[in-house]
Amino acid sequence: MGSWQLTERRAVLWDLDGTLVDSGEYHWRAWRDTMRDEGVALTYEQFLSSFGQKNDTILTAWMGTAATPDVIRRVGDAKESLYRQFAVTEGVVPLPGSAEWVARLNAGGWRQAIASSAPAENVRVMLDALNLDRYFDAVVSAEAVTAGKPDPQVFLAAAAKLEVPSAACVVVEDAAAGIEAARRAGMKCVGVSRSVVLPADVFVRSLADLPPDAFERLVS
């Protein structure tokens, strides 16, 4: 493939939780119940501070030296299993504007990838439930990287899979760690959050509020 063809490609790299789908309540309940079984009374503020991070980082912060690799694996697996149970039994819906933007970008020739700190099985369950998997050309999840956000690995890996240079990629994120990861990857970023203000290139409370040319302007 010639370099001119690569530069013609543009991509959007999507975070999943809190960006495409409102799954925060399921994550909170799953972490709260799992940590209670470990003798840790997790606060909602501690949970909020973990957004965008991988489980090994989260559990080390919450459990200290007790968070050995075996404990991280066991507790993390228990939490994710409970999370998926909530998602399957209680259902998930896309956040306002997200499904519409995914379809619109696909129709406009943009390549798209999921670039998430979540385990691959969580991503699969979410995409199946949302019925959006057909729109994504690649998925990069927690297992594919050695360091979580704000390290840029997950976004760089997604761009490599799509064969799109960083300068032609736009990240969509709901967490400060993800915004910083996009910056370190040399990518523009759309931040979306109903609860905090994020230092993204473009920030909105809802993806439904983005102007029609938002992505075009970021890579023009």
Q: Which residues participate in catalysis according to the annotation? A: 15, 17
CA distance 73 to 93: 29
Q: Provide the b/e sequence for 151-181 (b: ≥16 CB within 10 Å).
A: bbbbbbbbbebbebbbebbbbbbbbbbbbbb
DSSP H or E stretch at residue 166 = none
d(CA 204, CA 19): 11
Give the span between the Cα atoms of 32 and 38, in whole angstroms.
10
8 Å CB contact between 36 and 78: no
CA distance 114 to 154: 9
Q: What is the rounded distance in angstroms from the CA atom of residue 1 to the CA atom of residue 215?
A: 25
Kind of pairing between the strands at 169-173 and 188-192: parallel
Identify the CA nearest to 158 among candidates 129, 176, 178, 177.
178
